[in-house]
Amino acid sequence: MQMHTYEPAYLHALSRRLFESSGATNEIGHIVANILVGANLTGHDSHGVLRVPTYMRRISDGIMNAGAEPTTVRESVTTLVLDGHQGPGHLTAYRAVHKAIEKARTSEICSVSFTQIEHIGRLGHYAEIAAREGFVGIAMVGRGSSNKMKVLPFGGKKGSLGTNPIAIGIPTGDEVPFLLDVATSVVAEGKLQVARSKNVPVPENYIVDKNNVPTTDPNEFYDGGYLRTFGEHKGYAFSLAACLMGQLAGNYGEGCPFGYAFMQVININAFTDLIGYQEGIRAFLDDIKKSEPADGVDEVQVPGEFEHRTRTHRLKHGIEIPDTINEQLLEWANTFNVSADDSIITNEDKAYYPSVS
């Protein structure tokens, strides 16, 4: 599969321009583009610019509203309900985590529930924002509806769940916060999209075909197949828990999948001294890293390191995009009459991506 290597600022500028052309303000374009390119930078290509063509289709089909700003539906000292008005979910989640941090500065904790929200992308982005500000950040997304979805419930034959991810970010006081960021399906659905776009198989036990026969061919998933939950019944339980938490603000419309998103920000200073806490977390994680590695493994890593290392590498060496996705991006650029060469990169685009030595 032919790959194209781009600097992050270019992919940011192209995504921003496409969103702007479909009704987003310049500010929304920057926020969404940065979250998408951030997913590529951290190694989660499944939630990066690969998604732009799908978002463009949803916008042109009138399902998603590129220019919609979220509004507050309900608010207390420690809670928020946001209506995303079917705008880019990335924007709603971004506004949510920043509002939650501001509230948690004074009220110690803030939980957020959402209504009318679109796909929010890589959850770790929001958990990381909180952790970098010195807060614990928790985010989850959960959707379910019997026999209508793409992830098998434990013991089930047809999909009844979304990939229902959970992220937890915890500050370490340095550049590498602890970051748990996983789908409760054995892998994010977007990773199947990545495998399909590169024409490579997926590992065994990830998916079954439409007849419930295990397969490694990602095309079978898109031809009526299903994903499994991780850890059998345990992942299933986590997945349902994400649905129940995501349902706090109520989405009980008929035929509507149950659940959606939930977020929480915790002010560590309400419990203990932040600096001491962070030092303790770093020392603990470093101690875990001293665990003797298994044969054939160089070192034991802790969650968050993978993203940090990949980001450092890709800021320096660029982001690879498969030809199939590149083609689709260029087609949308053509549709909107957006130039697809480097001239679209502004200094504002570049400012999001510091150069690394």
Contacting residue, 84, 134, 142, 303, with ligand NAD by CB under 6 A:
303
Note whether 56 and 85 are within 8 A (CB). no
Q: Is 46 in the site for ligand NAD (CB under 6 A)?
A: yes
Minimum distance from residue 306 beta carbon to ligand NAD (Å): 4
Structural contact between residues 189 and 163, judged by C-beta atoms closer than 8 angstroms: yes
Site for ligand NAD contains 241 (CB under 6 A): no
Minimum Å gap between C-beta 302 and ligand NAD is: 6
Both tokens assigned to 344: 């679209």
Question: Would you say 124 and 169 are in contact if contact means Cβ atoms under 8 Å apart?
Answer: yes
Nearer of residues 7 and 307 to ligand NAD, judged by Cβ: 307
Q: Does 123 bind ligand NAD (CB under 6 A)?
A: yes
* Strand 135-141 relative to strand 166-170, pairing: antiparallel
Q: 3-class DSSP state for residue 322?
A: strand
> Which is closer to ligand NAD, CB of 167 or CB of 333?
167
* Interaction of residue 257 with ligand NAD, rule CB under 6 A: no
Using the 8-state DSSP alphabet, how is residue 229 labeled?
Answer: B
The one among 25, 216, 301, 312 contacting ligand NAD by CB under 6 A: 301
- Tell me whether residue 119 or residue 158 sits nearer to ligand NAD (CB atom): 119
- Angle of helix 26-41 relative to helix 89-107, nearest 10 degrees? 90
Q: Whole-angstrom Cα distance, residue 51 to residue 68?
A: 19
Give me Rg for the CA atoms of the chain: 20
User: Rule CB under 6 A: is residue 180 a binding residue for ligand NAD?
Assistant: yes
Instruction: Tell me: does residue 161 bind ligand NAD (CB under 6 A).
Output: no
Asked whether position 304 contacts ligand NAD by CB under 6 A, the answer is yes
Backbone angles phi, psi at 103, to 5 degrees: -70, -40
Under the binding rule (CB under 6 A), the answer on residue 90 touching ligand NAD is no
Least distance CB 163 / ligand NAD (angstroms): 4
Total residues binding ligand NAD (CB under 6 A): 27
Residue listed under structure tokens 């706090």: 248
- Residue 27's φ and ψ, nearest 5 degrees, are -65, -45
* 97 forms part of the interface with ligand NAD (CB under 6 A): no
Minimal CA–CA distance to 237: which of 138, 168, 144? 144
- Vertex 119 angle, CA 117 and 125, to 5°: 110
Interacting span for ligand NAD (CB under 6 A) from 18-26, 42-50, 208-216, 310-318: 42-50
Q: Should residue 170 be labelled a site residue for ligand NAD when binding is judged by CB under 6 A? A: no
Which position among 9, 11, 14, 188 is part of the footprint of ligand NAD (CB under 6 A)?
A: 188
Helix (H) or strand (E) holding 226: strand 226-227
Among 118, 181, 220, 349, binds ligand NAD (CB under 6 A): 181
Contact 164, 239 (CB under 8 A): yes
Q: What is the DSSP letter of 64?
A: S
Q: Which of 28, 66, 104, 167 binds ligand NAD (CB under 6 A)?
A: 167
Q: Is there binding between residue 311 and ligand NAD (CB under 6 A)?
A: no
Q: How far apart are the first and last CA of the chain?
A: 30
45 binds ligand NAD (CB under 6 A): no
List residues near ligand NAD by CB under 6 A: 44, 46-47, 119-124, 141, 163, 165, 167, 179-183, 187-188, 191, 301-304, 306-307
